[in-house]
Amino acid sequence: MLKSISCGDLRPEHDGQSVTLAGWVHRRRDHGGVVFIDLRDSSGLVQVVFHPETAPAATEIAQHFRAEWVVQVEGTVRKRPEGTENAELATGAIEVVATESEVLNESKTPPFDVSQQTQGQVDELLRLGYRYLDLRSASMHDNMVLRHRVVQYMRRFLDDRGFVEIETPILTRSTPEGARDFLVPSRLQAGTFYALPQSPQQLKQLLMVAGFERYFQIARCFRDEDLRGDRQFEHTQLDIEMSFVDEDDVLGLIEELYTAIVDEVVSGRRILRPFPRLAYDDVMARYGTDKPDLRFGLELADLSEIAAASDVRILRGAVEAGGIVKGFAAPGCAAYSRKGIDGLIAFAKSRGAQGLVTIGIDGDAPSLEGLETEHVRSAIASALKLDEVRALAQRTGAGPGDLMLIVAGGATVVNTALSQLRNEMGERLGLADATLIAFAFVTDFPLFEWDEETAAWGPSHHLFTSPWEEHWDRIETDPAAVRARHYDLVANGMELASGSIRIHDRQKQERVMRFLGYTNEQMEERFGQLLGALEYGAPPHGGIAPGIDRLMTLLTDHAESIRDVIAFPKTQAGTDPLFGTPAPVQASQLAELHIAIVPEDDAI
């Protein structure tokens, strides 16, 4: 080894010890005589002192050190002189007095400052282009190390409970449902393709049939859909499947695991104990989304009844057309300027709403009872009766000084717009406790959802999810009312995990598929392997798949997006500026794969 100990491990107990260190020059402070170097390696950093009187040769070399040079230093650990300790540093009580130094490798001046946080500070394209330097920065380095610790903890935790880690193929078969597949052309079988797995769903069910009872995998999943701050082409999930279990077993395991991770692996994070369990209908009503941010209130109120009895055309009309009217109160926002209101309206419209009704209650109003016309600030103030304003305020919880935000229209649109408006206002008003991770389970999802585009019922989770036992007979008669044994883990407005108790009976599985419009031939063609397996003693089973990337954005400090917890992520356009991915390939490679590129203009 070129070093005898790591920089960040040095403590007062090493006082007097001779050490050899190797690492990167974090910063240098050259006083003309004495030279200080902060030397960094993967463990942290320590101050090295070079004295020209006692170590002239080493000091001469150190004077030429520059940022990010790789150097080796021999010296003696000692307690820092009285008054020069640095409480900011873990190693701040000691320093290394250098006797020898050597340059192992020089560095060009880095394109950005590696010694400081890069997230949110440096252009992300530049960071990705020099990802090896970006990851060298302490904050990104810490993110990767914490991710490692979390994953290791998961592995130990599950191993302790009898789970077996099993790998499943990356080259699998395309299934037409769900997201767009990444395809890999077959060289040996001309004209055919493998698909990268969107998840190991069917495989893990087959492992249950295979009798493993408790399976897990840190599984990479691929989806060729547009990328976002919380979505990459490939994401990693903790894939879990268990036999002979019900909902409580799966949710209890996850709650125990995530609570332990927060308690034992990370610091400075608070959670709700126990995790709230909320029914889908309840969260949709109160938050307008199935992944609510529970760090703050701003709950939505149903105002349809008041709207229906009102003379305000946009409110009453929406209800008469079969829609709903909902809203919430933004505390202290009654004084929003015209421009501010316009901004909120534009926000709502960009989220699909027809418009946004705002009603401010002047802070000068003595109370709701003492409300006068001049206290009501709204574009529709003239059409509103005072009693209606009172009723709306009562429902939304608005008082003097507050601003009611109300959307009317179809239920989906109203909920979508208001849920995002709620998140926006929660952020603007700083209502969310940054140290809180508000984990919660959402349960009792509908089994099916209506797809407007195809004018057909589709699975709201996936088609292997079991309905409630007592709802089997509703499938054909009242599909919208069928509840599923499906659950999600959410936190801070993000979906972190999704899972269900599966169907383990072939007849029942076919019944769901048949309802979804599959012919017997299609079932056999697409799901023959699973259906066949269900006929050979498939145990009752269920599972869940928590996303690790999103979880890490909650557990780390300074993660601006999912890209900050992934070592080598892609840009929103799906490119990697470091490697220049994706890239053309040799014509010979294409020929072997029986692939021909059709220029865009000639494409159909």
Nearest distance from residue 94's CB to RNA, in Å? 9
Nearest distance from residue 252's CB to RNA, in Å? 23
Nearer to RNA among residue 22 and residue 530 (C-beta): 530
CA distances in angstroms from 76 to 5, 12, 487, listed in the order given: 12, 12, 58
Count each helix (H run) and each strand (E run) in the chain, helices first. Answer: 16, 24
The answer for residues whose C-beta is within 8 angstroms of residue 367's C-beta and 6 or more apart is 399, 400
Q: How many CB atoms lie within 10 A of CB 10?
A: 25
Nearest distance from residue 359's CB to RNA, in Å? 25
Q: In this structure, is the dihedral angle defined by the CA atoms of residues 533, 534, 538 and 540, taken in order, positive or negative?
A: positive
Nearer to RNA among residue 226 and residue 249 (C-beta): 226
**Quick one: DSSP state of residue 87?**
T
Nearest distance from residue 132's CB to RNA, in Å? 15
Q: Of the candidates 177, 249, 364, 592, which one interacts with RNA according to CB under 7 A?
A: 177
Q: Of the candidates 13, 369, 453, 602, which one interacts with RNA according to CB under 7 A?
A: 453
Under rule CB under 7 A, residue 459 binds RNA: yes
Q: Of the candidates 1, 13, 16, 32, which one interacts with RNA according to CB under 7 A?
A: 32
Q: Of the candidates 10, 49, 348, 440, which one interacts with RNA according to CB under 7 A?
A: 49
Q: Of the candidates 144, 151, 178, 218, which one interacts with RNA according to CB under 7 A?
A: 178
CA-closest candidate to residue 71, choices 44, 104, 112, 42: 104
Q: Of the candidates 51, 277, 471, 474, which one interacts with RNA according to CB under 7 A?
A: 51
Residue span binding RNA (CB under 7 A) among the ranges 242-250, 283-291, 569-577, 579-587: 569-577
Cis peptide leading into residue 176 (ω within 30°): no
Nearer to RNA among residue 402 and residue 564 (C-beta): 564
Binding map of RNA across residues 378-417, x = CB under 7 A, - = no contact: --------------------------------------x-
Report the C-alpha gap between 50 and 46 in whole angstroms: 13
Q: Of the candidates 228, 270, 313, 428, which one interacts with RNA according to CB under 7 A?
A: 228
Q: Where are the beta strands (DSSP E) in 416-504?
A: 436-437, 439-443, 448-451, 456-459, 486-491, 494-501
Q: What is the spatial order of strands in the sheet that 494-501 belongs to? A: 164-165, 214-222, 234-243, 541-546, 494-501, 486-491, 439-443, 277-279
Nearer to RNA among residue 511 and residue 526 (C-beta): 526
Please state the φ and ψ torsions of residue 305, each to the nearest 5 degrees. Answer: -60, -45
Contact 116, 37 (CB under 8 A): no
* Residues in 54-83 at the binding interface with RNA, rule: CB under 7 A: 66-67, 80-81
- Which helix (H) or strand (E) segment holds residue 357: the answer is strand 357-361
Q: Of the candidates 143, 172, 198, 553, which one interacts with RNA according to CB under 7 A?
A: 198
Nearer to RNA among residue 126 and residue 170 (C-beta): 126
Contact 361, 376 (CB under 8 A): yes
* Residues in 460-479 at the binding interface with RNA, rule: CB under 7 A: 460-463
Residue span binding RNA (CB under 7 A) among the ranges 85-93, 240-248, 289-297, 434-442: 85-93
Residue span binding RNA (CB under 7 A) among the ranges 12-20, 174-182, 427-435, 508-516: 174-182
As to burial, measured by CB atoms within 10 angstroms (0-12 exposed, 13-18 middle, 19+ buried), residue 435 is exposed
CA-closest candidate to residue 24, choices 137, 119, 127: 137
Nearest distance from residue 85's CB to RNA, in Å? 6
Under rule CB under 7 A, residue 201 binds RNA: yes
* Residues in 351-380 at the binding interface with RNA, rule: CB under 7 A: 351-352
Q: Of the candidates 3, 6, 9, 30, which one interacts with RNA according to CB under 7 A?
A: 30
63-89 b/e (C-beta count within 10 Å ≥ 16 → b): eebeebbbbbbbbebbebeeeeeeeeb
Q: Which residues pair with 98 in a beta bridge?
A: 75
Nearest distance from residue 61's CB to RNA, in Å? 15
Contact 499, 542 (CB under 8 A): yes
Under rule CB under 7 A, residue 575 binds RNA: yes
Nearer to RNA among residue 401 and residue 458 (C-beta): 458
Residue type, 227: L
Nearer to RNA among residue 369 and residue 453 (C-beta): 453
Residue type, 475: I
* Whole-angstrom Cα Rg for the chain: 30
* Residues in 110-129 at the binding interface with RNA, rule: CB under 7 A: 111-113, 121-126
Binding stretches for RNA (CB under 7 A): 27, 29-34, 36, 38, 47, 49, 51-53, 66-67, 80-81, 84-86, 88-89, 92, 95, 97, 109, 111-113, 121-126, 175, 177-180, 198-199, 201, 223, 225-229, 231, 350-352, 416, 420, 453, 458-463, 561, 563, 571-573, 575, 577
